Amino acid sequence: MSKSKDKSNSVTYETATGEIEFTLRSDMMFHYVMQNSKTALTGLVCALKGLSPDDVQDIIVENPIDLNSAGKETIMDIKLTLNSSEILNIELQVYPDKYWISRSILYLCRAYDNIGSGDNYSLIKPTTLFCITDLGLIPKAPKEFYAKYRLTNLKNHHLYTDKFGINVLQLNHTDLATEEDISNNLVYWANLFKATTWEEFKKLAKNHPDIEEVGNMIFELNYDNQAKEILEGQRRYREQMNSQYTAGYTDAEEKYETVIAEKDNMLSEKDATIAQKDDMLSEKDATIAEKDGLLSKKDATIAEKDGLLSEKDATIANKDSEITKLRAELEKYKNMNM
């Protein structure tokens, strides 16, 4: 990398002031620093895993980058092998990603597939994906500083395995850190990532030689013309991709809203038609009910007339009976007089 001959000759990490243009939250800066400072990388891994530095016998960056040949589209997650027995992926997520959950699971599964064809399954190394972010990547998740996700039984929460998981360090929730998080230096590292000025960074790096080394690297890249071009190109590429993603998502959302609005209008028209038909049915029901009432009245009138006719028939029958009796008596008298 070529050195700038202006400000970098008169200013050093110890004397630098003001804003840090490319901080540890620049994923290429983060990758470069961690692959070149084993002490800093060990410190971060120990904080994320709750280990002592003495527990780290060996740590290898499996995907180092070369700034001189790095493309702006370079994937910036860091893949590590810890103590030759465990796979770690550390990823900075500084841009919104609607599909981060799906992507993170895919990355984790790919990293977990770490044996060759025909190898014994006992050789599979435990794998963890660590995400460092200040974004709300998990919808509706409770606010938490350091979340650990594992496969568990939904009923009794029995752990299926601890060899496969995702940890999320939420930089904007340091106020929710536990005593364990603090003692593991997670809050310290979160503050390093959040430091945006040299004053903030130097205050945190004081009496930490490993972090002073990090500060020197950050300073070097911020004042190296070639490195700055690479970092700026990568930042613009990420911002462009994020803008295109946001625009595409917005366009899709607008089209979706249009389709929904059209469907809502169609449903409203159908509802209006159904309501109109319901009114017509109600009118028909009322007409039928009215006719039923009239028929009931007619039936009552007919029944009443039938009753009167029955009474008349009974009266006529009585009279016919009396006439028959009278005629019989008259006939009897006639025969007696003869």
Classify residue 285 by burial, with Cβ atoms within 10 Å: 0-12, 13-18, 19+: exposed
pTM: 0.68
State the pLDDT at residue 300: 81
Task: Provide the 3-class DSSP secondary structure of residue 25.
Answer: coil
State the pLDDT at residue 240: 61
d(C-alpha 275, C-alpha 95), whole Å: 49
Q: For residue 60, give the nearest of 110, 125, 104, 148 by alpha carbon.
A: 125
Beta bridge partners of 86: 82
d(C-alpha 208, C-alpha 202), whole Å: 10
Phi and psi for 162 in degrees, rounded to 5?
-105, 15
Domain chopping of the chain, boundaries: 7-258
Amino acid found at 310: S
Query: Residue 201 contacts by C-beta under 8 Å, 6 or more apart in sequence?
Result: 20, 23, 192, 195, 215, 218
d(C-alpha 38, C-alpha 46), whole Å: 12
Task: Provide the 3-class DSSP secondary structure of residue 312.
Answer: helix
State the pLDDT at residue 5: 42
**Contact present, 24 and 188 (Cβ < 8 Å):** no
Tracing tokens 């084993």 back to the chain, one arrives at 38
State the pLDDT at residue 314: 82
Beta bridge partners of 168: 131, 147
**Cα–Cα distances in angstroms (integers) from residue 120 to residues 16, 96, 124, 161, in the given order:** 54, 39, 8, 18
Query: Residue 36 contacts by C-beta under 8 Å, 6 or more apart in sequence?
Result: 217
d(C-alpha 80, C-alpha 111), whole Å: 10
State the pLDDT at residue 237: 57
Q: For residue 92, give the nearest of 165, 184, 192 by alpha carbon.
A: 192
Q: Name the packing angle between helices 225-337 and 209-222 (round to 10°).
A: 90
d(C-alpha 222, C-alpha 215), whole Å: 10
**Cα–Cα distances in angstroms (integers) from residue 13 to residues 22, 64, 199, 227, in the given order:** 14, 24, 10, 16
d(C-alpha 178, C-alpha 186), whole Å: 10
**Contact present, 71 and 28 (Cβ < 8 Å):** no
Task: Provide the 3-class DSSP secondary structure of residue 127.
Answer: strand
For the chain, 338 residues long, give each residue's pLDDT as a single digit of tens: 544 444 445 567 788 899 999 999 988 889 999 999 999 999 999 999 999 999 999 999 999 988 776 655 455 689 999 999 999 999 999 888 889 999 999 999 999 999 998 899 999 999 999 999 999 999 899 999 999 999 999 999 999 999 999 999 999 999 999 999 999 999 999 999 999 999 999 999 998 888 989 999 999 888 876 655 666 656 565 656 655 555 555 555 666 666 776 777 788 788 888 888 888 888 888 888 888 888 888 888 888 888 888 888 888 888 888 888 888 877 777 777 76
d(C-alpha 240, C-alpha 233), whole Å: 10
